[in-house]
Amino acid sequence: MAHKHAMLPIWSVALPLAAWAGYFFGIDGTLMQLAGGALLIGSVLSAVHHAEVVAHKVGEPFGTIILALAITVLEVGLIVSLMVASDGNAPTLARDTVFAAIMLILTGLLGGSLLLGGFRHHEQFFGQKSVSTALVTLISILVLTLVLPNFTTSTVEGTYSNSQLVFVAVASLVLYFSFIAMQTVRHRDYFLSDDDDESRHAEPPSLAVAAASLLLLVVCLGIVILLAKALSPAIEGMVAAVGAPPSLVGVIIAAVVLMPEGLAALTAAHRNRLQTSVNLALGSALASIGLTIPAVAIVCLIYDIDVVLGLDTKSMILLGLSTFTVMLSLNQGRSNMLYGIVLLVNLAAYIFTIIVP
């Protein structure tokens, strides 16, 4: 175990490089698209591995923050590039993708972690203070960005005027960075699990290996975003072929972007480190909305793109249900399988009502 990180495994370097090569070679035709999809997943797995190496070097909670920020860069890059390029569904693209990401994290990622951890270890424990700190920040940003625009009167329903957009962007950043300050400096102890200082962990990787992993993490995330964008016409075609509405594309894009984090969170829950799973899930939900909405706001103001942020009634009800069930599931500092099952049923309801509205 001690020299797990002594060298980086060959596949974690080869797969992203092969994906870059495939991307520049071009992914036309069904066969190349399938290969592109396989390389995309390979790059995601490599990203998880490199993020774990870096996290192991810098320690918690910095490791989970690095992964959350990396994912958010991916998400922002994807949304902004599609918004600037597209003409039809640009106004709602950011809202749909961010909402999909939040729902996938709160119900899927957390639900999966609680179910898997509960199934394997019966009962798992985590710091209650870390959860309430994250949730109070998250719910505030969610309401300001996705619910309040439906009730303002300066502009049409679901939208903000420019000054309101600037205010909400600044408010989101203030809330997000205040949370990061709590997580890394003032109340760092809230986010550590009880066994974070035990000697049973593997030796941290050398500085050279950690630096190589950080560089490769950027390489992996870069190709994931390019491949996801290149494959999105094929994904859109598939969604249209089965007769599902276009908003399902947002869910698929969000699912691809969140795959590295999802795998890392599930692995942590499986290893009975639920605190890490919870940190990852809530941290990435916060980064996902607290940084994406301000970035989208800036792009919309620069390019004069109209953006619709307010969710429809059905989505607001599902969002309310999910945040409420997450609050109830995580308010004890201990968890079992049932919480996971409830959250995953919420996720199924969300996806089912997209396909069958």
Token pair of 67 as six digits: 């992964």
Q: Is the pLDDT of residue 199 over 50?
A: no
The tens digit of pLDDT for each residue in 306-333 reads 788 888 888 899 999 999 988 888 777 7
286-311 mean pLDDT: 82
Please report how many Cα atoms fall inside a 13 Å half-sphere around the Cα of residue 191, on the Cβ side: 27
Q: Give the pLDDT band (50/70/90) at residue 87.
A: low
More confident residue, 321 or 52: 321
Q: For residue 24, give the amino acid letter.
A: F
Q: Give the pLDDT band (50/70/90) at residue 86.
A: low
The tens digit of pLDDT for each residue in 112-126 reads 888 888 787 777 777
pTM: 0.79
> What is the reported pLDDT for 346?
93
DSSP secondary structure of 117-157: HHHHHS-EE--HHHHHHHHHHHHHHHIIIIIGGGT-SSSST
CA pair distance 126, 236, nearest whole angstrom: 40
Which of 280, 258, 313 lies closest to 55, judged by CA? 280
Mind listing the domains of the chain with CATH numbers?
A: 10-355 (1.20.1420.30)
Most confident of 12-21, 226-235, 339-348: 339-348
Q: What is the DSSP letter of 335?
A: E
DSSP secondary structure of 48-76: HHHHHHHHHHH-TTHHHHHHHHHHHHHHH
Q: Give the pLDDT band (50/70/90) at residue 190.
A: low
Number of Cβ within a 10 Å radius of residue 334 = 12
Please report where in the chains the tokens 């399902």 appear, as a residue.
248
Q: What is the 3-state secondary structure (H, E, C) of 70-92?
A: HHHHHHHHHHHHHHHHCCCCHHH
262-271 mean pLDDT: 81
83-106 mean pLDDT: 77
Q: Is the pLDDT of residue 192 over 80?
A: no
**Which helix or strand (DSSP H or E) is residue 241 part of?**
helix 207-241
Backbone angles phi, psi at 222, to 5 degrees: -60, -45
Mean pLDDT of the chain: 79
The alpha carbon torsion through 56, 58, 62, 65 (nearest 10 deg) reads -60
Token pair of 121 as six digits: 């270890």
Which of 338, 322, 343, 344 lies closest to 122, judged by CA? 338
How many percent of the chain have pLDDT more than 70?
Answer: 89
Token pair of 26 as six digits: 């071009």
Q: Is the pLDDT of residue 345 over 90?
A: yes
- Strands of the chain, DSSP E: 124-125, 334-335
CB-neighbour burial class of residue 18 (10 A; exposed 0-12, middle 13-18, buried 19+): middle
